[in-house]
Structure 1
């Protein structure tokens, strides 16, 4: 289990690095737009991403 968690975190770092490498201007504009959002809006967005990620993990584990 700890190895799988570490692998998942490494994959997150690879994906985030890929976004920064491939489209830095788009990434910058996205971050600027997020800075302008209210905390409640960011929490809803985070909750949605969290639920989508958990559902994806559950679906992949069940398959």
Structure 2
């Protein structure tokens, strides 16, 4: 279910605002790898917390 929701959100970006999606990709390609790792780790932690709170 969670993967399906991620795909819906990702798909909405490309379906409704493809130019914005390209800008996000360009910004990500210019961002240092360490910053991307930190942001990804933070996103995982927030996601786990949300799932825990909702299911708890």
The normalised TM-score by structure 2 is: 0.89
* 1:1-63 equivalence runs, <5 A: 7-62=1-56
Q: Which runs of 4+ in 1 moved over 2 A?
A: none
1:5-53 deviations in Å (ceiling 9; x for gaps): xx22122111111111111111110110010011111100100110110
Alpha-carbon distance in structure 2 between the residues aligned to 1:9 and 1:48? 18
What runs of 5+ residues in structure 2 fail to find an aligned partner?
A: none
Paired residues in the alignment total: 56
